[in-house]
C-alpha cells in the first residue's frame, strides 16, 4: 500500500457496482484507498481515457502443484515467454504457463489486481500458497477442492449435513482457502481406479452420486455467511452431448437459499459444458440451451471459459478428462492423484480454427457471453490456461465489442461455424460498461469481494485502478485489444505499478482467506472421524496437515459465522 495522496483527473470512469457508466470524473486516493477528496495529491491526467476498477479474475489456474507440473513437463512453453530481469522485475518465462513473476506482471499490465486460483488440492495447499507468495502485485485467494474427499462422500452418504458443514469449515480453515470448489464430483475418486462418473452414477465403493455431492456441498456452504457460493466444474466436462448434464447440475441448487445476494452456484468454464451432438462427428453448440436456462433462472452464475486459438496447456483436477484428451492427441500427459481428496491431469493442447470441433468450441464461449442477457450473470474467463492463456482476454473483449471482428474471424474458421453454432447470427456488441461488469463488477460481487474493497471505486474501496489508453468512443477492434493488453496506468493499493505498459513497481499481493466459524460441539464430533482418517489412511499426520501462518506473509481474513 502506498502512502500519500493521488488524484486521477478527468478520466471516463466505468464503475458498474456504483452505477457509474462512462462519466467524466476525478478519483481521489489516500493511503491505498479511494477517498472523498484530497488536499495535496500527485496528479495523473487521465483526460479522455477509459478508467475502470482493477480487474478481478474469478477463475484461473496460476499457482500450485498442477500448474508447476505443467511447467516442469513443458520447457518448450517456458522458452516462449522469456524476458530478462529489470531493475524492478525478476526473470520471466512461459506463455500458457508463465512463471510466477510473469503471472503477476502480465495480469497487472492488463489492469487486473485480483486473481482467484481456481483449484487447490488440500493436501498440497502449502504449495499453492508458496507460489501465490511469489506472484507479485496481485491480491489473490484459492479455493480448496472438497468434493471427492472421503469425509465429504461419507457424510453425504450418511446424510449428516451438519457434520459435513463442520468438515467444510475445517478444511477451508486448514488450507487457508476461500470457498468450496467442486471438480467432477465423484468422478475424480472413481478415476483413482481408472473410472469416471456421470451425474447420477454411483461412485465406486462410496455409494453416493455426484448429484448428491453437489447438493450436499451447496447446502453445507450456505450454512455459513460465505462470501462465495459453491464453485462448480460439473461432471462430463468436454464430452459431446453434455449440455443436459450441465443444466441438470444447475437444477440441484434450485431450492437452496443463498446467504446473500448472489446465486447459490457459480458454474465455471461453461463453454466446456455446453456441447451438443453424440460424438465428435456431429459435435455442435448448445450455448443457446445454457443461455436460456441462465436467462430464465437466478440461482446460477457462470463464467465463459472462452477459447484462445493456438497452443496451450490444459490442467484440471478432472483426471479422467485429461486422460481422454491425451488419448485423442497422443501428446505428453501427467497425472497426479491425491490421497483421500482429489487428483489432477495435465496435457498440452492446440486449438485450431481449421478443426471443426475447435471451431465450435471457439464459438460457444462468445455465444454464451452474447446470448445471456444480463451481464451480471456472466464472467470473462479462459479457464486459464485450459481454453487459452489469460493473456488472451483482450482478444475476447475485442470480439465481444465488435460484430465486425467476429465476422472477419469467422471467415478464417472452419465452415461449421455457420451451421453448428449461432455465433454468426448474433448482432449484439458489448459496450465498455458491460465489459467492466464481466471483468470486475460481476466477479467482485459474485466472489463477495466488493464489500472488501475489490472491483469498484466507491469511497473506502481499495485504490486498484486501470487506466486504458483508449477513448470510450473507440470502435476499432485492434485498438481495443491493444489498449486492454497494456494499460496506460495500473494502480494497486494506491501505488502506480504499471506505466505506459511497463511494470514500474512490484509490491507483494495479499492472500485473502475465509474462516467459516462452526459450532464447537459439531467440530469436535467431526474431528473424531477426521482424526481416524489421518491415523489410518493419510500419509501425513493430522498436526502436520494445516497450512502454517508462515505461508501467508500478507494475509487478509474474512470471517464467515454460521447463519442464524
Partner 1 sequence: MVEITDVVCSLCGCVCDDIVLEVENNEVVKVKRGACSVGKSKLLGHERIKSPMIRENGELKECSYDEAIKKAAEILYKSRRPLLYGWSSTVCEADSAGIELAEDIGGVVDNTATVCHGPSVLAIQDVGIPSCTLGEIKNRADLIIYWGANPAQAHANHMKRYSYVSKGYWTAEGKKGKKLVVVDVRKTMTSKMADVFVQVEQGKDYQVFSALRAILRGHEDVVPDKVAGVPKAQLLEVANMVKEAKFGITFFGMGVTQSGARHNNIVNAIQFTRAAHLHGKWSIMPMRGHYNVTGFNQICCWQTGFPYSVDLSRGYAWYNPGETSSTDLLYREECDAALIIASDPGAHFPGAALRHLAKIPVIQIDPFANPTTEFADVVIPAAISGIESEGGVYRMDNIPLRLRKILETDYYVPDEEIVERIHAEVRALREKEAE
Residue 472 is classified by DSSP as T
Determine which residue in the list 37, 42, 45, 79 makes contact with partner 1, applying CB under 8 A. 79
Residue 560 phi, psi (nearest 5): -125, 90
Q: How far apart are CA 145 and CA 186, in angstroms?
A: 12
527 binds partner 1 (CB under 8 A): no
- Least Å from the CB of residue 197 to partner 1: 15
Q: How far apart are CA 237 and CA 322, in angstroms?
A: 10
Return the residues of window 186-205 that contact partner 1 according to CB under 8 A: 192-194
340 binds partner 1 (CB under 8 A): yes
83 binds partner 1 (CB under 8 A): yes
65 binds partner 1 (CB under 8 A): yes
Q: How far apart are CA 447 and CA 444, in angstroms?
A: 5
94 binds partner 1 (CB under 8 A): yes
Q: Which helix (H) or strand (E) holds 311?
A: strand 310-316
- Least Å from the CB of residue 203 to partner 1: 14
From the list 241, 238, 434, 442, the residue with the least C-alpha distance to 322 is 238
Q: How far apart are CA 509 and CA 493, in angstroms?
A: 10
279 binds partner 1 (CB under 8 A): no
Determine which residue in the list 35, 50, 108, 123 makes contact with partner 1, applying CB under 8 A. 123
Q: How far apart are CA 8 and CA 468, in angstroms?
A: 13
- Residue with smaller CB distance to partner 1, 348 or 455: 348
316 binds partner 1 (CB under 8 A): no
- Residue with smaller CB distance to partner 1, 75 or 460: 75
Determine which residue in the list 346, 364, 369, 523 makes contact with partner 1, applying CB under 8 A. 346
The piece of 254-262, 448-456, 459-467, 533-541 that touches partner 1 (CB under 8 A) is 533-541
127 binds partner 1 (CB under 8 A): yes
Residues 6+ apart with CB under 8 A from 47: 9, 10, 11
288 burial level (CB within 10 Å; 0-12, 13-18, 19+): middle
- Strand-pairing partners, residue 316, are 345
- Residue with smaller CB distance to partner 1, 193 or 419: 193
Residue 72: all three cell numbers together: 516442469
Determine which residue in the list 38, 174, 256, 336 makes contact with partner 1, applying CB under 8 A. 336
CB–CB of 266/228 below 8 Å?
Answer: yes
508 binds partner 1 (CB under 8 A): no
Cα atoms found within 13 Å of the Cα of residue 533, Cβ hemisphere only: 17
Radius of gyration of the chain (CA): 22
- Least Å from the CB of residue 87 to partner 1: 11
Return residues touching partner 1 (CB under 8 A).
63, 65, 67-69, 71-75, 78-79, 81-85, 90-94, 98-101, 123-124, 126-127, 130-131, 134, 192-194, 326, 332-340, 343, 346-347, 536-541, 543-544, 548, 550-551
Amino acid at each position: 500500500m502506498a502512502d500519500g495522496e493521488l488524484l486521477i483527473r478527468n478520466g471516463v470512469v466505468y464503475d458498474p457496482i456504483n452505477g457509474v457508466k462512462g462519466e467524466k470524473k476525478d478519483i481521489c486516493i489516500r493511503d491505498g484507498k479511494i477517498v472523498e477528496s484530497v488536499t495535496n495529491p500527485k496528479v495523473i491526467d487521465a483526460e479522455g481515457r477509459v478508467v475502470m476498477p482493477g480487474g478481478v479474475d474469478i477463475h484461473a489456474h496460476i499457482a500450485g502443484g498442477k500448474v508447476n507440473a505443467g511447467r516442469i513437463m513443458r520447457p518448450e512453453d517456458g522458452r516462449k515467454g522469456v524476458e530478462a530481469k529489470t531493475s524492478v522485475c525478476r526473470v520471466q518465462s512461459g506463455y500458457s504457463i508463465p512463471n510466477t513473476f510473469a503471472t503477476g506482471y502480465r495480469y497487472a499490465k492488463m489492469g487486473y489486481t485480483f486473481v482467484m486460483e481456481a483449484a487447490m488440492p488440500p493436501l498440497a495447499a502449502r504449495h499453492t500458497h508458496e507460489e501465490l507468495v511469489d506472484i507479485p502485485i496481485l491480491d489473490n485467494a484459492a479455493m480448496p477442492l472438497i468434493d471427492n474427499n472421503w469425509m465429504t462422500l461419507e457424510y453425504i452418504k450418511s446424510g449428516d449435513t451438519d457434520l459435513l458443514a463442520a468438515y467444510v469449515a475445517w478444511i477451508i480453515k486448514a488450507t487457508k482457502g476461500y470457498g468450496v470448489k467442486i471438480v467432477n464430483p465423484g468422478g475424480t475418486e472413481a478415476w483413482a481406479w481408472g473410472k469416471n462418473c456421470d451425474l447420477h452414477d454411483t461412485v465406486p465403493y462410496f455409494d453416493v452420486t455426484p448429484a448428491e455431492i453437489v447438493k450436499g456441498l451447496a447446502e453445507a456452504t450456505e450454512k455459513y455467511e460465505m462470501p462465495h457460493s459453491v464453485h462448480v466444474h460439473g461432471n462430463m466436462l468436454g464430452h459431446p452431448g453434455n449440455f443436459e448434464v450441465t443444466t441438470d447440475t444447475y437444477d440441484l441448487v434450485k431450492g437452496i437459499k443463498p446467504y446473500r445476494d448472489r446465486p447459490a452456484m457459480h458454474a465455471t468454464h461453461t463453454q466446456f459444458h455446453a456441447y451438443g451432438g453424440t460424438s465428435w462427428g456431429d459435435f455442435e453448440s448448445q450455448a443457446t440451451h445454457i443461455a436460456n436456462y441462465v436467462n430464465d433462472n437466478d440461482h446460477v452464475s457462470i463464467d465463459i471459459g472462452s477459447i484462445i486459438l493456438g497452443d496451450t496447456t490444459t490442467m484440471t483436477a478432472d483426471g479422467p478428462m485429461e486422460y481422454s484428451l491425451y488419448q485423442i492427441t497422443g501428446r505428453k500427459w501427467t497425472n497426479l492423484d491425491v490421497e483421500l481428496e482429489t487428483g489432477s491431469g495435465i496435457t498440452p493442447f492446440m486449438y485450431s480454427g481449421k478443426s471443426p470441433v475447435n471451431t465450435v468450441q471457439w464459438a460457444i464461449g462468445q455465444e454464451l457471453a452474447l446470448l445471456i442477457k444480463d451481464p451480471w450473470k456472466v464472467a470473462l474467463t479462459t479457464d486459464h490456461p485450459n481454453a487459452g492463456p489469460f493473456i488472451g482476454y483482450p482478444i475476447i473483449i475485442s470480439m465481444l465489442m465488435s460484430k465486425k471482428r467476429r465476422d472477419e474471424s469467422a471467415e478464417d474458421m472452419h465452415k461449421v461455424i455457420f451451421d453448428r453454432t449461432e455465433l454468426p447470427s448474433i448482432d449484439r456488441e458489448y459496450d465498455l460498461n458491460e465489459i467492466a461488469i464481466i471483468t470486475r463488477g460481476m466477479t467482485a460481487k459474485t466472489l463477495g469481494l466488493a464489500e472488501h474493497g475489490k472491483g469498484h471505486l466507491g469511497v473506502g474501496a481499495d485504490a486498484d485502478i486501470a487506466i486504458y489508453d483508449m477513448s470510450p468512443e473507440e470502435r476499432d477492434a485492434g485498438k481495443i485489444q491493444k489498449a486492454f493488453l497494456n494499460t496506460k496506468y495500473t494502480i494497486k493499493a494506491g501505488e502506480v505499478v504499471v506505466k505506459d505498459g511497463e511494470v514500474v513497481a512490484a509490491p507483494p499481493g495479499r492472500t485473502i482467506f475465509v474462516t467459516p466459524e462452526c459450532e464447537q460441539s459439531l467440530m469436535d464430533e467431526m474431528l473424531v472421524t477426521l482424526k481416524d482418517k489421518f491415523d489410518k489412511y493419510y500419509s501425513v499426520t493430522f498436526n502436520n496437515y494445516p497450512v502454517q501462518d508462515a505461508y501467508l506473509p500478507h494475509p487478509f481474513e474474512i470471517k464467515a459465522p454460521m447463519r442464524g
